[in-house]
Amino acid sequence: MIDLHTHSTASDGTLSPEALIDLAADKGLAAIALTDHDTVDGIPSALARGEARGIHVVPGVELGVRWNGGGQMHILGYYLRHEDSTLRERLSWLRARRRERAQRIVDKLKVVGVEISYERVKEIAGGQSIGRPHVAQALIEAGAVHSVGEAFGRYLSPGRPGYEDKEELSVEEAIRLLKSSGGKAVLAHPATLKLNPDGLARCVEELKGHGLDGLEAIWSGHSAQQVDAYKSLARRMNLLTTGGSDFHGENKPDIQLGTGRKNNVQVPDSVLEALRRRQGEHGLRGNR
């Protein structure tokens, strides 16, 4: 089994890249992709630990993209040349926008009488890709809420007093960026687009026109019916099917590495083989 969607402390997960790889190895996973939000800073240590523990590590990233629908669109990149300077510069730009946004969130919370400091949020994020889960931790520390879930429910979700939009790339640019650094582009968790089957098929067709390689059919938040529907959509459109848990450690305590929520994620090794075949045909070879 493998897991192609995970977050470390380089973004908003709670395990370091090394600890994440150790956990994956201890669980007997054959491969893992590190897909932190807007950063590849965890990749070198993950690759090194993967070598040491004999587990294949796919260098990845997850990008939020601008989209006019009601839901959220995220794109995963796999087998990136993580040292590519264009990629690194664009990701670093996105992280700078995240810092400004975190500052605005802190200011907004102050208006409703909730005092946390931006400095503390930055410290919790460890100077890396700052996200709302780090603000949530600061809110817990300040005694304003008891859990990450409560922090989102009361303050950080859309429509709540501490919500701020995030700067995102257009979908064309996101896919182009991933592909120009040798990667494959996959639509993450299609359910979060909140489209009906026809709408999703049209949307995926358009993304395919921009160079999309696959759909993340298997994901912790998908029902068995959704997994089947996304697999068959991928097959019809000649796209890869991928899958992963979206593990975030303690920031999403109900999601387990490799197995998702109540064992609803089981990603066979054949998914990776297909991804690597496509990589061999169209791009640079991955590590090992």
Would you say 45 or 245 has its CB closer to Zn ion? 245
Give the residue among 58, 37, 38 at the shortest CA–CA distance from 46. Answer: 58
Q: Which of residues 238-267 bind ligand AMP (CB under 6 A)?
A: 248, 251-252
Stretch that binds ligand AMP, among 16-24, 127-135, 178-186, 196-204 (CB under 6 A): 127-135
Of 239 and 255, CB closest to ligand AMP: 255
Q: 80-119: which residues touch Zn ion (CB under 5 A)?
A: none
The residues of the shown chain that bind Fe ion, judged by CB under 5 A, are 62, 74, 188, 246
Q: Is 148 in the site for ligand AMP (CB under 6 A)?
A: yes
Query: Smallest gap, in angstroms, from Cβ of residue 37 to ligand AMP?
Result: 5
Which amino acid type is present at position 288? Answer: R
Q: Regarding beta strands 184-187 and 214-219, do their DSSP bridges make them parallel or antiparallel, or are they unpaired?
A: parallel
Please report whether residue 95 would count as binding ligand AMP according to CB under 6 A: no
> Going by C-beta distance under 8 Å and a sequence separation of 6 or more, which residues neighbour residue 49?
17, 18, 21, 22, 57
Nearest residue to 51 via CA among 68, 31, 67:
31
Decide whether 44 or 253 has the Cβ nearer to ligand AMP. 253
Choosing among ligand AMP, Fe ion, Zn ion, none, which partner's interface includes residue 232 (Cβ < 5 to 8 Å by kind)? none
- Contacted entry of Zn ion, Fe ion, ligand AMP, none for residue 152, CB cut-off 5 to 8 Å set by kind: ligand AMP
The answer to whether the CB of 134 falls within 8 A of the CB of 125 is yes
219 binds ligand AMP (CB under 6 A): no
- Determine the Cα–Cα distance for residues 27 and 141; give it in Å rounded to an integer: 31
Residue 36 touching Zn ion (CB under 5 A)? no
Angle at CA of residue 282, ends 222 and 169, nearest 5°: 55
Distance in angstroms (rounded) separating the CA atoms of residues 199 and 170: 19
> What pairs with residue 214 in β-bridges?
186, 240
What are phi and psi for residue 60, nearest 5 degrees?
-140, 180
In DSSP terms, which residues pair with 61 in a beta bridge? 77
Binders of ligand AMP among residues 15 to 74 (CB under 6 A) are 37
Confirm or reject binding of residue 132 to ligand AMP (CB under 6 A).
Answer: yes
Give me the residues that bind ligand AMP (CB under 6 A), please.
Answer: 12, 37, 131-133, 148-149, 152, 157, 166, 248, 251-252
Give me the residues that bind Zn ion (CB under 5 A), please.
Answer: 7, 12
